[in-house]
Amino acid sequence: MLQVISLLLENKPGALMRVTGVLTARGYNIETLTVARTLDPELSRMTIVVDVDPILRAQVIKQMNKLVNVLQAVDLTESPAVCRELVLIRVRAPLEMRTAILKEAEIFKARVIDSSTEGFALEATDDPEKVDEFVQVMRSYGDIEVIRSGAVAMSLEAKKLRLQPPIATPTGSRDANGVSHTGRRPGEARASGGDGATRQEDEVEVTEES
């Protein structure tokens, strides 16, 4: 069964490899993966859709939270969340089918981004299930080319994570955002090891607010 995981991690070389390494080493198939930096350029938000047995979901999240560079990993599979995916479809169809294609695109709230004598290029954004349905409908009209972005998910829980950049402060102190520091930025004092290395103790405590 597919599991949707949202991770907040440091925007550093090797961070992506460590995360995917944990999944692939255990034989989990990654369906989609998207990642981009947050408002804080030192942090990135990653959304992973991976095929994991339901009874192993909690274990996967625990493994993610132990990784170097990962500040927070959350399972959004059954939590209140919004999940969206972008799809670009190029449809090649005869002239007599153009009107029907445009009507179908309107139903799925897709927009035409290019038109030619061969057909249309369409763009749609929706939850992955609706995107699957849109692709199947367009396939019935002729030859198509499909490019999908992969899922992007955001929690709708009342709690929200503060994304202000961490500030180096004296050992044991907390900055204005409630983040505990050891006088180093996240990732500077880590346990040695390979791509699956874990953090020493709880050097960075990410707090949430209601």
What is the mean pLDDT of each successive set of 10 residues along the chain, which is 210 residues long? 94 93 91 95 96 92 93 93 96 91 95 93 96 96 94 86 46 47 44 45 43
- Phi, psi angle pair for 100, to nearest 5°: -65, -40
Burial class (CB in 10 A: 0-12, 13-18, 19+), 103: exposed
pLDDT of residue 44: 96
In sequence order, what are the residues at sequence separation of 6 or more whose Cβ sits closer than 8 angstroms to the Cβ of residue 1?
51, 52, 53, 54
Six-digit token string for 169: 């402060």
Q: Which residue reads 């995360």 in tokens?
A: 19
pLDDT of residue 16: 93
Six-digit token string for 144: 């198509």
pLDDT of residue 142: 86
Cβ 89 vs Cβ 105: under 8 Å: no
CB atoms near residue 15 (< 10 Å):
21
One fold for both 2-79+157-205 and 84-150? yes
pLDDT of residue 192: 38
Cβ 85 vs Cβ 128: under 8 Å: yes
User: Would you kindly state where each structural domain of the chain is located, as residue ranges?
Assistant: 2-79+157-205, 84-150
What are the beta bridge partners of residue 30?
Answer: 50
Six-digit token string for 72: 């927070």
Distance of CA 7 to the CA centre of its chain: 7
84-150: CATH superfamily: ACT-like. Chain A, domain 2 (3.30.70.1150)
Written out in words, the top-level CATH class of the domain with range 2-79+157-205 is: alpha beta
pLDDT of residue 188: 45
User: What CA–CA distance (Å, rounded) separates 59 from 68?
Assistant: 17
